[in-house]
Copies of this chain bind each other. A is one copy, B any other.
Amino acid sequence: MTTPLKATNLLNELQHVKEYWSPRVVGEVNNQYIKVAKVKGTFTWHKHDDEDELFYVLKGQLLIEYEEDRVLLQEGDMHVVPKGTMHNPVAEDECWIALIETVTTKHTGDVVTEQTRSIEQQLGKG
């Protein structure tokens, strides 16, 4: 994926997205994908064995549940889930987020659910 010489507005990229928990790739930097997603409700407990995952809240608020902790992210907050750490994202109300993940990361980690989207789907080719 070549990133074109243009400005990408993260909120605009989500304007027409209807489906929750379905990330869209909007850019790439050093083998990391920048993704945006609308989320609502509970995702699924999972981990990424070899990759950290960054969450950044564009609108609303997002709770990251850990087995023995939790972090509440407000608009403008970022948080990195360390690799190998079980976590579960929860959004009580609709929340718009940006994500940074290694290009090889499956967004549901080592768990495959009906929410799992292929990278082709996330690139808008699926």
Q: Mark A14-46, 1 if CB is under 8 A from B, else 0.
A: 000000000000111111101000000000000
Residues of B within 8 A of A80 (CB): 3, 27-29
State the number of copies, please.
2
Out of B53, B77, B82, B100, name the residue touching A100 (CB < 8 Å): B100
Residues of B within 8 A of A7 (CB): 71-74, 77-79
Residues of B within 8 A of A124 (CB): none
In the bound complex, do residue A71 and residue B29 qualify as a contact, i.e. CB atoms below 8 Å apart? Answer: no
A selection of 27 A-B contacts at a CB cut-off of 8 Å is: A3-B80, A3-B82, A5-B66, A5-B69, A6-B71, A7-B72, A8-B77, A8-B79, A9-B74, A10-B77, A11-B76, A26-B78, A27-B78, A27-B80, A28-B80, A29-B32, A29-B54, A29-B100, A30-B32, A30-B52, A30-B102, A32-B32, A32-B100, A34-B54, A34-B78, A58-B76, A100-B100
